[in-house]
Amino acid sequence: MTDLLSPAEWEALALSLRVAFVSMLGCLPVALMFAFLLARYRFPGKALLDGFIHLPLVVPPVVIGYLLLVLLGRKGVLGAWLYDTFGVSIAFTWKGAAVAAAVMALPLAVRAMRLAIESVDRGLEDAAKTLGARPMKVFATVTLPLISPGILVGALLAFARALGEFGATITFVSNIPGETQTIPLALYAQIQTPGGEAAAARLAGISIAVALVAMIASEVMARRIRRSIGEAE
């Protein structure tokens, strides 16, 4: 089984999974917060915020990577302060790759969650409030279960997007085997290497397979939860 892939490819797969999981976990709470903000509230500058959140979707990924470099690189606006104060730098590390992937996945997660939040029947929440439940309890026991398909879809979309992240990653944290060389970056390196065709094909296969599994799982899980909620009503 271990001969299926070379050690470098196993390393790329492990790194890809680690980066995707961490970026998904980091992206979720932020996405949920923004989704609530955009779905439930009106405030000046809302369109601007919406635009900024969706920037990673429409702007070239290399631009996002460049902005991350300017902001969080070792000599960046925020990064230099972080390094001088805490000795911490995420540039050229897998944590930086996770940040890049999380930023790129954010708009997808926000869209999925916002849709779910907007389709919640406010009447149910109001009913809970009239029965004496505090806002936090309403959120935890009424809203959250109702939007859980949306959260799940958003999480899996974020995971799949993070798995496939390339442009921002290679610009911000570069292509360092074992540290930032996720599957897309490893594939890119193999395409440029004489004799790397077989490895490139294997990596492409893994990439497609993992992404398909994530997407199908997302659909199946969402359908089950929707069905269970439908039965409860």
Partner 1 sequence: MACRFAGTLAAAFLAIASFAYPQARAEDLHVMAAASLQPVLTAFLEAHGGEIDGDRLVPVFASSGTLARQISQGAPADLFLSANPHWADWLVEDLGLSPDRTADLLENRLVLVVPTADSSPRTLLDFAGAGRLMLGDPAHVPAGQYAKQALTALKLWDGLTPRLVFGSNVRTAVAFVERGEVDGAIVYRSDAVGSDRLRIAEEIDPGLHDPVVYRAVLLSDRARGLLAALQSADAAAMFRRYGFEPLPHGQ
The Cα angle at residue 172 between residues 33 and 189, in degrees rounded to 5 = 125
* Residue 175 lies near partner 1 (rule: CB under 8 A): yes
Look at residues 142, 51, 134, 68 and name the one whose alpha carbon lies nearest to residue 102: 68
State the minimum distance, in angstroms, from the CB of residue 47 to partner 1: 35
Binding mask 36-75 for partner 1 (x = CB under 8 A): ---------------------------------x---xxx
Of 46, 88, 193, 208, the one binding partner 1 by CB under 8 A = 193
Q: Can you tell me the distance from the alpha carbon of 74 to that of 98, in angstroms, rounded to the nearest whole number?
A: 16
Q: Which stretch binds partner 1 (CB under 8 A): 37-45, 97-105, 121-129, 171-179?
A: 171-179
Question: Which tokens hold the place of 113?
Answer: 């969650």
DSSP state of 133: -
Question: Which tokens hold the place of 95?
Answer: 């944590």
Of 11, 36, 82, 129, the one binding partner 1 by CB under 8 A = 11
Distances (CA, A) of 72 to 18, 58, 80, 94, 144: 21, 21, 7, 14, 33
Q: Which stretch binds partner 1 (CB under 8 A): 44-52, 59-67, 139-147, 189-197?
A: 189-197
Hey, which residues between 122 and 151 contact partner 1 (CB under 8 A)?
Answer: none
Q: Which stretch binds partner 1 (CB under 8 A): 100-108, 139-147, 160-168, 192-200?
A: 192-200
Question: Which tokens hold the place of 194?
Answer: 């004489």
Q: Can you tell me the distance from the alpha carbon of 130 to that of 28, in angstroms, rounded to the nearest whole number?
A: 30
Say if CB 163 and CB 211 are below 8 A apart: yes
Helices (H) and strands (E) in the chain, counts: 11, 0
The H or E element spanning position 163 is: helix 144-163
Of 40, 134, 137, 224, the one binding partner 1 by CB under 8 A = 224
Q: Which stretch binds partner 1 (CB under 8 A): 14-22, 28-36, 122-130, 135-143?
A: 14-22
State the minimum distance, in angstroms, from the CB of residue 18 to partner 1: 4
Residues that bind partner 1 (CB under 8 A): 10-11, 14-18, 21, 69, 73-75, 83, 89, 91-92, 174-179, 191-197, 217, 221, 224
